[in-house]
Amino acid sequence: MSSEGAKAFIARWAAASASERANSQPFLCELCNMLGVARPEPTRETGYAFEYDVIEHHPDGSTTKGRIDLYKRACFVLESKQFQAATRSRLGNLPAG
């Protein structure tokens, strides 16, 4: 990816609203495109998908159904978090690159 493309990506997402649910998947798909890597698949059977079902096992023996925002088998687990306004102001203080 060119530096212009990376700057456009950063500018686009720097202006995004702080909504985890609305922005997480589009952001990650665009990030994959920018990095030139495969995007998550629409099916979980591949082991690379959004909203991957998991079962949490608790010390008392109970279980809870949960989901991982993005999962790639044998590679990573990613949990998206809402972007905070305070973080946005701190990032604005970073030197131009």
Task: Give pTM, 2 decimals.
Answer: 0.72
pLDDT tens track of the chain, all 97 residues? 688 989 999 998 888 877 767 888 999 999 999 999 999 999 889 999 999 999 999 999 999 999 999 999 999 999 988 766 555 555 566 555 5
Tell me the torsion sign for CA atoms 69, 81, 63, 61: positive
What is the Cα 24 distance to its own chain's centre?
Answer: 5
